[in-house]
Structure 1
């Protein structure tokens, strides 16, 4: 049975939450206060600059957001598509539908239309697939956490990521989107990952790239078959 996407569902992507990018925390607090009304939330991946359940430093650093998401998940349906910065999340979010990379796309229905949802880093070269398996390997991550004395590994990762420039205009993105649409057997394709916030129609197949919350300060609301970008 397919997941049904509700009218007024909200999609949020690529907030890359850290001490500089606070938009995801602001968004969650607005949902909690009902300033943003939500019955169904889709987190499209890379919501944190980095987190995995094995990385104790990052779990502790992001505990406030983890608590907020878990609180919201008691009354709101939340679907979390793991990205390339946030994975092995199931134990952190017991009431959230967490979808691993290898199980993406998630197939859903919206008004009798078939919808494929993924973070956007699938259908990639074999070398990247191998890399993804290595960095998600639980024994390896547990070992790295064990030798992470004074959090020196975690802090190196954190401060390397925080310096990265992740917001830019992707020239030729329409060409990439057209190629990616061909990978999916669906009427609509919804992805994050690329930080572009653009929509295209290719031979009656609709491609929607959810904007990056940290770059565009926008999330997306599905209303009457329109993907409406909303300023945070």
Structure 2
């Protein structure tokens, strides 16, 4: 079965309209790709190849596409060559790539901005789409815990950059995979993150945003939120790692989908 037939077998979980709009934008996040033997990566490459034939206006990656990527040392891990080639095909087809860094992939640097011409944002981005004000972020910045924020700071610090310069990339890869095995996202933690996301989205809507799109919790959903000042949309494409979930915005409407 080719990619187009497979995508048409996907399902739409929920639709939510946003007034106006003509752009076609695809949102993906939280694939946590672990290398060439990863079935998730094979499916994502197939999906990207199909997208290149459909030529959406934009592909928005909301972080943690890779289980580990840092651009500090300029290393491009060969484990990810197939999916990087898929991004190249998509770029050559005319789709703009927007990347919001996550807590597993950060300092993406020259490869994504130079070779792929992507727009890369470290924490969050405010983007005008179809006359609407969108707030985009991976979502880990919503975590209020001191421990996590210290860890997040360390991974982006000159200290960690120095470590990357000293430690061989293959050894660093093994360390990263070992740490990721210990940091799995459990359902109860995901639910807590999602509750924080909704409250955060309400505050962003009160601040003037029309749409807030976050990931990180791996929980797919679209919700219309009403505050004292205005109404807006909170959306989460869900985790690609869990059943290849993604989200589409087209003709002023959000659609949750699953690639199968």
- TM-score w.r.t. length of structure 1: 0.82
Q: Does 1:91 align with 2:110?
A: yes
Q: Does 1:196 align with 2:219?
A: yes
Match of 2:62 among 33, 38, 44: 44
Looking at structure 1, the residues matched to 122 and 194 of structure 2 have their Cα atoms a distance apart, in angstroms, of 26
Q: By percentage of residues, which structure has more helix?
A: 2
Matched residue, 1:66? 84
Deviations 1:159-206 (A, max 9, x none): 342465436364466643331113313011001111000122221221
CA 1:149–1:112 in 2, change beyond 3 Å: closer, same or farther? closer
Match of 2:138 among 108, 111, 119: 119
Q: Which runs of 5+ in 2 are unaligned?
A: 1-20
Match of 2:247 among 216, 220, 225: 220
Matched residue, 2:199? 179
Looking at structure 1, the residues matched to 198 and 80 of structure 2 have their Cα atoms a distance apart, in angstroms, of 36
RMSD: 2.8
Contact 1:18/1:162 (<8 A) preserved: no
Looking at structure 2, the residues matched to 181 and 223 of structure 1 have their Cα atoms a distance apart, in angstroms, of 21
Looking at structure 2, the residues matched to 90 and 55 of structure 1 have their Cα atoms a distance apart, in angstroms, of 10
Number of residue-to-residue matches in the alignment: 224
Match of 2:152 among 125, 132, 146: 132
CA 1:201–1:55 in 2, change beyond 3 Å: closer, same or farther? same
Q: Which runs of 5+ in 1 are unaligned?
A: none
- TM-score w.r.t. length of structure 2: 0.74
Matched residue, 2:23? 7
CA 1:39–1:187 in 2, change beyond 3 Å: closer, same or farther? closer
Contact 2:221/2:256 (<8 A) preserved: no
Residue 40 of structure 1, CA deviation: 1.1
